[in-house]
Amino acid sequence: MARIIGGIATTHVPAIGKAIAENKQDDPYWRPFFKGFDFVHGWLARNRPDIAVVFYNDHGLNFFLDKLPTFAVGAAQTYRNEDEGWGIPVARSIAGDPAFSWHLINSLVADEFDITICQEMLVDHAVTVPMALMWPGQSWGGIRIVPVSINTVQHPLPSMARCLKLGRSIGNAIEAYQQDVRVLVVGTGGLSHQLDGTRAGFINKEFDQLCLNKIVNEPEHLTQYSTHDLVVKAGAQGVEFLNWMAMRGALPGHVVEMHRNYHIPISNTAAATVVLESRMEATQRAA
């Protein structure tokens, strides 16, 4: 049976990818953020995941405003990155696992999630930057991925509650998979940030800390915030926290925070990294 080893959530700011390419990890500006990954690297080395389910939001590389699904799941053999215009070098392709993807897709549809199925799928910095942070040198640790794209761009957006339920559905599907694989669940995106308009540069440290505290063992508390609330409190791009909610929903049992790093600012973004671990092999999730 498949087993969920835990979850990692982290920022995917394009400037991080540029800093990696320019070897700036020890620069004073960047060091507090990159040092937060020392624990992550050790944790991944100990737990050795085979597959990562990555909740992220596409920034126009794979989908655009004319066709933008609420939820899309990759079922490709390989996921390719292309030039996005941020000055980030194009990343190596990342292997997929179509059989595992189709298992998740069938389960999601059975749970009445109307998803878009992508048998070919590009992935942008929201996938490649976190992967490069977790596995420096783009070795990818031999891991296979299933990208799950959540719309955080074109309103109406899915709610916090809906994304939590999406994660729970995927978590249930993972635990029902018959092959013996170790699965990591990843949520990517900044915490509070706004990159445009009159509130450009907006960061809300108090709300970020609330989200970091509640997502561990009280994620339902966060579902009280509507999408509008999330924009007001976290900024127009802070809605990427929806990816974190889906990650958390996928984790079974009693969840323990193993590591947290919070640093501001990284390119006008509240940058955070957390590692969460489930302390039960299997459990009954809430509906």
Of the listed 12, 103, 193, 263, which one is catalytic? 193
> What is d(CA 247, CA 250) in angstroms, rounded to the nearest whole number?
5
Tokens describing residue 70: 């609420």
> What is d(CA 187, CA 212) in angstroms, rounded to the nearest whole number?
13
> Is 59 marked active-site?
no
Of the listed 125, 155, 259, 263, which one is catalytic? 125
Q: Identify each DSSP E strand in the chain by its residue range.
A: 3-10, 51-56, 71-74, 78-79, 94-95, 116-118, 144-150, 182-188, 255-263, 271-278
Could you tell me which of 184, 161, 6 has the C-alpha nearest to residue 100? 184
List, in sequence order, every residue forming a beta bridge with 73; answer none if it has no partner: 117, 148
> Is 193 marked active-site?
yes
Residues designated catalytic: 125, 193
